[in-house]
Chain A
Amino acid sequence: MPDSISPADSALARRLTIALCAALLTAFVWGLYRYTANFDVWTFEGHRQLAMQAGDLRAPQVPLREMGTTPITLWGSATSPPAAYLVDFIYTRCPSVCRVLGNEYQQMQAQLVAQRARNPALAAVHLVSISFDAEHDDPASLREYAREHQIDPALWTLAMPATAADTQALTRSLEVIAIPDGLGGFVHNGAIHLLDASGRLRGLYEFDQWPQALEAAKQLATVRRDIP
C-alpha cells in the first residue's frame, strides 16, 4: 500500500514519525517507571504493600455480627478500647490456609494470655477473625469454629459483616481478594492484617509471620498508650 505522500514529503514524514516514536516510547517508559515504583513492583500485592506504607488503606467501620448474631463495631469507634487489631479473613469450611491461620491465632491468643500480666500494653491488642462466606457461615458453623479453636471472646473476636455489601466494603478497602479455588472453597491474598484504632492498615504478614505480627501489634499498642 503506497503512502499517500509525495517523495518530497518523505523526509518530513520520517522526521515527524521519529519524533512521535521518541515521545511515545519516552512517555511509556516514564509511565512504566512510575507505575512499577522504579521498575520494582509488578504485582497487585506489591502495590498493596506500597498503598499500606503510604497509609492509603483503611477499613471502614462496618457493622459486624459477633458469632453471626451479636451486633458489634470494632475500629474507628471513639469507644473502641484496643489500639491494635490483628485481623484475618476466613471461611469456616476452609480445609487448609484458614485452619493454619486458626492455629496461629490460637498461639497468639495463648501468648496474649501468658504475657498480659507482665505487659499491660497487650490489653490493647485484639485478635479478629472475619468470615467472608455469608452463604455458608451461619451462627452454628461460627460457634463450631470458635469451639474448635478455643476462642476466648475477650481476646479474639469471631464475626461476620452484617450484609454482603459490608463484606465487600471491608475487603475492598483492604484490597483483600477472594476467588473460588475450583473445589468449592476460596483462595485469597493476605493473611494477617494489623489495623490501628482508626482502622488504618499498619502491617501485612503471612501466616507463618505471626510472631512478627504480634510483636508489631504490641509496639503499636504501646505507642498508642503513650499518646496522652
Chain B
Amino acid sequence: MMHSTRLRKPVADLLTVLPLILLWPTLRHRIESQMLLHMLVEFPVLFAAGWAARDLLLPAAARRFPRTSRVLALLDWGGLTSASVVTCVVMFWMIPAALDATLLVAPVAAAKYLSWWLAGLILAGSWRRMTPELLLFFVGNLSWTSATAGMLYMDTTSRLCANYLTDDQSNTGIGLVLLALVLGALALRQMMRLGATQAAARRITPPVAPAPTKTAR
C-alpha cells in the first residue's frame, strides 16, 4: 500500500504537468496534425491531467475557501452535474467542425484545452458520489458516443475534417470504436459489481420476523 502511494503521487504529479508539453509548438503541431493523436492522445492526456490535478488543487481550495466542499456537494448531487458536463464536453469535441476549428481559431483551441482539463478535474471529485446506476448510464453513454463517432469516421469515404486525411480519419474511427469497447467493458463490469452487491445485500438482510400475536391463555 505504501509502495502504491509512493508510486501514485509522482505519477499524478507527472500527469498534472504533462499538458505543458503542448506549449512546445513543434510537438503540439506534430500531435494535432494527426487526427488519431489529437483525439486519442491529446484529449485523454488533458483529461487525465485535470483528474490528477484535483488532489493538488482541492486541498488548497478548501483551505482558502472552507465552504468549497459543501458548495460542490450542493451543486453536484450524486455526481449528476459532473456527468452532464463531461458528457457535453465529450460529445462536442467529437464534431468534425469543432475539431477543425481548434486548429484554426485560437480561442477555440483554448476552450478545448480548458474543457477537457476541467472535465477530468470535476469527474475525479465526483464519480464516487454517483450511484452505481448513474455511473453505469454515464459510462455507457460515453461508450455509445465514442462508438457512433468512430463508426462515422470509419465509414465516411470523404474527408470530414479539412485538416486530416481520409486514412487518418479511418484509423481514428477504429481507435474510437476500440475505446468504446473498453468503456463498454467497464460499464459491464460495473453492472456485474452492482448485481453482486445487490445480491449480497439480499443475502445479509435478515428475514423479517412475524409480528407477535396475542394468544388466549
Point out the residues of chain A lying under 8 angstroms from B95, CB to CB. Answer: 35-36, 42
Report whether A43 and B160 are in contact in the complex, using a CB–CB cutoff of 8 Å. Answer: yes
Closest to B103 in A: A177
User: Is B100 a contact partner of A44 (Cβ separation < 8 A)?
Assistant: yes
* Distance, CA A32 to CA B89, complexed state (A): 12
Cα–Cα, bound, A13→B76 (Å): 7
Q: Is the CB of A17 within 8 A of B78?
A: yes
Please indicate the chain B residues that have their CB under 8 angstroms from the CB of A13 in the complex. Answer: 73-75, 77
Given A5-B74, A36-B95, A177-B162, verify A21-B88 contact (CB < 8 Å): no
Q: How many A-B residue pairs have CB under 8 A?
A: 91
Q: Which residues of A contact B148 (CB under 8 A)?
A: none
Q: Assess whether B38 is interfacial by the CB under 8 Å rule.
A: no
Q: Which residue of B lies closest to A47 (CB)?
A: B97
Query: Contact between A45 and B162 (Cβ–Cβ < 8 Å)?
Result: yes
A5 to B70, CA, bound (A): 6
Please, which residue of chain B has its CB at the minimum distance from the CB of A12? B74
Binds A, one of B6-14, B40-48, B79-87, B200-208: B79-87
User: Residue A189 at the B interface, CB < 8 A?
Assistant: yes
Closest to B33 in A: A179
Smallest CB separation, B73 vs chain A (Å): 4
Q: Are B77 and A10 in contact (CB under 8 A)?
A: yes
B50-81 contacts to A (CB < 8 Å) = 69-70, 72-78, 80-81
A110 to B: closest C-beta gap in Å: 30
Q: Could you say which of A3, A10, A18, A43 contacts B161, with CB atoms under 8 Å apart?
A: A43
0/1 string, A1-42, CB within 8 A of B gives 1: 101110001101110111011001100100010011000011
Contacts of B92 in A (CB 8 A): 28, 32
Residue of B nearest to A177 (CB): B162
Does A187 sit at the interface, judged by CB under 8 A?
yes
Q: What is the total number of residues of chain A having a CB less than 8 Å from a CB of chain B?
A: 34
Residue among B84, B128, B161, B163 making CB contact with A21, cutoff 8 Å:
B84
> Is B101 on the interface with A (CB-CB < 8 A)?
yes
Instruction: Give the size of the chain B interface in residues (CB under 8 angstroms).
Output: 34
* Residue from A9, A24, A41 within 8 A of B97 (CB atoms): A41
In this complex, the member of A17, A24, A32 whose beta carbon has the largest number of chain B beta carbons within 10 angstroms is A17
Q: Which residue of A lies closest to B78 (CB)?
A: A17
Is A181 interfacial (CB 8 A cutoff)? Answer: yes
Measured in the bound complex, the distance between the Cα atoms of B108 and A169 in whole Å is 20
A46 lies within 8 A of chain B by Cβ: yes
**A3-B129, A4-B69, A5-B73 known; A179+B164 contact, CB < 8 A:** yes
- Say whether A46 contacts B97, CB under 8 Å: yes
B161 pairs with A44, CB closer than 8 A: yes
Q: Which B residues lie within 8 Å of A184 (CB)?
A: none
A95 at the interface (CB under 8 A from B): no
CB proximity of B40 to chain A, nearest CB, Å = 19
Docked Cα-Cα span, A7 to B30, in Å, equals 51
- The 8 Å CB contact of B85, one of A24, A35, A42, A179, is A24
Complex-state Cα separation, A21 to B84, whole angstroms: 7
Which chain A residues lie closer than 8 Å to B78 at the CB level? Answer: 14, 17
Contact between chains at A20 and B81 (CB < 8 Å):
yes
Which B-chain residue is minimally distant from A27 (CB atoms)? B88
Given contacts A17-B75, A43-B161, A46-B97, contact A4 B70 (CB under 8 A): yes
The 9 closest A-B pairs by CB, nearest first: A17-B77, A44-B100, A13-B77, A3-B73, A4-B69, A44-B162, A177-B162, A1-B128, A28-B88
Kindly list 18 other residue pairs between chains A and B, CB separation below 8 angstroms, not including A1-B125, A175-B162: A1-B128, A3-B129, A4-B69, A5-B70, A9-B74, A10-B77, A12-B74, A13-B73, A13-B74, A17-B76, A17-B80, A28-B88, A35-B98, A43-B100, A43-B160, A44-B100, A44-B162, A45-B162
